[in-house]
Amino acid sequence: MSILTWTYIIVGLTFGLYMYIAWASRVKDTKGFYVAGGGVPPLANGMATGADWMSAASFISMAGIISFSGFEGSVYLMGWTGGYVLLALLLAPYLRKFGKFTVPDFVGDRYYSTTARVVALVCAIFVSLTYVAGQMRGVGIVFSRFLEVDVTTGVVIGMCIVFLYAGLGGMKGITWTQVAQYVVLIIAFTIPAVAISMKITGNPIPQLGFGGTITEGTHAGRFLLETLDAINKDLGFAAYTSAYGPGQKSMIDVLCITLALMVGTAGLPHVIVRFYTVPTVRAARLSAGYALLFIAILYTTAPAVAGFARYNMVDTLNDKPYAEAPQWFKDWEKTGLVAWVDKNGDGIIQYRAGDPFKGRLSFTGETGPHGQPLVANAPTDNENELYVDRDIMVLANPQIANLPAWVVALVAAGGLAAALSTASGLLLVVASSISHDLYYRVINRKATEKQRLRIGRIMIGLAVLVAGYFGINPPGFVAQVVALAFGLAASSFFPILVLGIFSNRVNREGAIAGMIAGIGFTMLYIVQTKFMGVSPWFFGISPEGIGAVGMCLNFVVTWAVSAMTPPPPQEIRDLVESVRIPKGAGAAVDH
């Protein structure tokens, strides 16, 4: 059977499973809608947390960035992994004991302020919508390639699926769907990795094969990493394993990006809320441990996948006549995510360092003398003729390695599972922020369960529409868009969550001022450097890393303003003291 047929079968089966789970888990009360009733077992919550956390950025884009950037790309690996450890050890048990429905709920009650609640609510919505843009971009990429539909149609299909299971089951439906999605995505990620590792190095364990020797071909007998270093240098790139060299990110930039990703992970509202769905503090700790184990399986495999993909891509494309380009290249060419510009007119694909053309890729709609789609962009003056979108590397890797069609289709299902699982969690954050934190807690305290559920489902619908727009009009690479969301989370939530738990002196004035200062500075810097053409002016730190500076600013402003204003009421100080004893929590409460 063809790849298309296998894709329809496997993606159809997995989508049918998600729909069945959503119908079986449908809820009729707000506790089920917001926190899955608070009775999710630790093992299931660990799997759901893993799926929630491993988004399209982790599954699709992270290995792609490492594949193209080498050592520099590892900042995503270190930042996201370190951030999860930070969340599990520093925040999860204490937030669980606080026992509210949402992060704005925690902020509003801890800082005894409706204003603080609303500021946190705005931050949660902004962070979630930025993050979900990356997920919908991933959905569009998978559908456009594997179902051979245009990106718009693919995103609309994804929107309908997410709306059905998130709207019907709320957090309960999302949780059990994410359990199934974790199983799908981890199988889809590891099976091709094992097969390709065996094929290139003879070792079935990708993590070991990555450090092993190549078994056949012109590089047989050489270590894979040594070969990648040599290939990169020959093509004009920095060595694959080198750091901080000319043309690469500076040490302070790498440090800031890693830190922003770490503390941003710990401040992401859709991950934090998962710890409200388990019955006890002990269960929260246990599920955090399970999730770390499940996440580690993918994250330790990703560098190997990146290295194999780099080796296979260069080996199958560079210095090959376009007429003899492999089928995977022709297939992806139809999606507009790869392109070839025959600068010297020799009909041979030359892959070198540098961009092959200026600006964002667009096509003329005509074909060249070799049958290639003609690029409308002006060519650059370097020797590189090849453009490959980084986001396709994981998805294309099985086909590049000539694995069976069902494996290629399985990876497509895994990519969709990763994108949809995280998107659903983010959409619920947006819906609960408006329906619970704004509508119920601020506007209408007498709202009935039925009214609140209806508002929540309407908000999910609206959030799906906004997410769909970003999926059709993507603002950049998946991982880079997601990195911006992490920066915003780092600069807004992380300081007030940590100080809210570990300091009884920090008050509402400090928290509000800190959040506004942190996210305001970070947003301004990102807008300037990303959309207005301004060069990174703060020590050369890139917009992906500026969240670390915003976080520091938030800490300083929160402390300074709190010191100059009256301390919190005694009952709040007592509450903070009790939260730091992580035992004896009841269910998440709605009050």
Tens digit of each residue's pLDDT (9 = 90 or more) over 527-544: 888 777 788 888 888 888
Which range (152-166, 315-329, 375-389) has the least confidence?
A: 152-166
Check whether 68 has a pLDDT greater than 70: yes
Identify the three-state secondary structure at position 340: strand
For the chain, give the percent of residues with pLDDT over 90: 8
Can you give the pLDDT at residue 10?
A: 87
d(CA 356, CA 55) in angstroms, rounded, equals 30
Q: Does a structural domain hold residue 562?
A: no
pLDDT band per the 50, 70, 90 thresholds, residue 334: confident
pLDDT band per the 50, 70, 90 thresholds, residue 480: low
CA angle 358, 362, 365 (to 5 degrees): 135
Provide long-range contacts, Cβ within 8 A and 24+ apart, for 438-441: 438/118, 438/121, 441/105, 441/108, 441/114, 441/117
d(CA 66, CA 137) in angstroms, rounded, equals 19
Q: Does a structural domain hold residue 43?
A: yes
Q: Does a structural domain hold residue 276?
A: yes
> Mean per-residue pLDDT for 38-46?
83
Can you give the pLDDT at residue 478?
A: 52
Which range (436-440, 494-498, 534-538) has the least confidence?
A: 436-440
Q: Does a structural domain hold residue 530?
A: no
**Greater model confidence, 6 or 146:** 6
Report CA 10 to chain centroid distance, whole Å. 23
User: What's the mean per-residue pLDDT of the chain?
Assistant: 82
> Mean per-residue pLDDT for 308-331?
87
Residues 6+ apart with CB under 8 A from 396: 309, 328, 332
Identify the three-state secondary structure at position 587: coil
Check whether 107 has a pLDDT greater than 50: yes
The 3-state secondary structure of 114-132 reads HHHHHHHHHHHHHHHHHHH
Can you give the pLDDT at residue 483?
A: 62
Identify the three-state secondary structure at position 401: coil
pLDDT band per the 50, 70, 90 thresholds, residue 589: very low
Can you give the pLDDT at residue 590?
A: 46
Check whether 365 has a pLDDT greater than 70: yes
Which CATH number do you get for residue 53? 1.10.4160.10
List the one residue out of 197, 157, 192, 163 whose CA is nearest residue 177: 163
d(CA 340, CA 349) in angstroms, rounded, equals 7
Can you give the pLDDT at residue 557?
A: 95
Q: Does a structural domain hold residue 372?
A: no
Q: Does a structural domain hold residue 244?
A: yes
pLDDT band per the 50, 70, 90 thresholds, residue 40: confident
Tokens of 262: 């770490």
What domain count does the chain have? 1
pLDDT (tens digit per residue) in 18-30:
888 878 877 767 7
Q: Does a structural domain hold residue 340?
A: no
d(CA 320, CA 351) in angstroms, rounded, equals 10
**Greater model confidence, 62 or 38:** 62
Tokens of 407: 């494996």
Beta strand pairing call for 363-367 and 338-340: unpaired
* Concatenated DSSP letters of 509-570: HHHHHHHHHHHHHHHHHHIIIIIS-----STT--TTTHHHHHHHHHHHHHHHHHHHSPPPPH
pLDDT (tens digit per residue) in 373-391:
888 888 888 888 999 887 7
List the one residue out of 220, 130, 26, 198 whose CA is nearest residue 478: 130
Can you give the pLDDT at residue 561?
A: 95
Q: Does a structural domain hold residue 209?
A: yes
List the one residue out of 243, 323, 267 whose CA is nearest residue 497: 267
> Mean per-residue pLDDT for 415-429?
78
pLDDT band per the 50, 70, 90 thresholds, residue 227: very high
Contact status, residue 264 vs residue 494, Cβ threshold 8 Å: yes
**Greater model confidence, 276 or 194:** 194
Q: Phi and psi of 464, rounded to 5°? A: -60, -40
> Mean per-residue pLDDT for 462-470?
81
pLDDT (tens digit per residue) in 529-587:
877 778 888 888 888 889 899 999 999 999 999 999 999 999 888 888 887 765 555 44
d(CA 165, CA 576) in angstroms, rounded, equals 37
Check whether 591 has a pLDDT greater than 50: no
Domain ranges, residue 102? 3-313+398-472
Residue type, 85: V
Report CA 563 to chain centroid distance, whole Å. 37
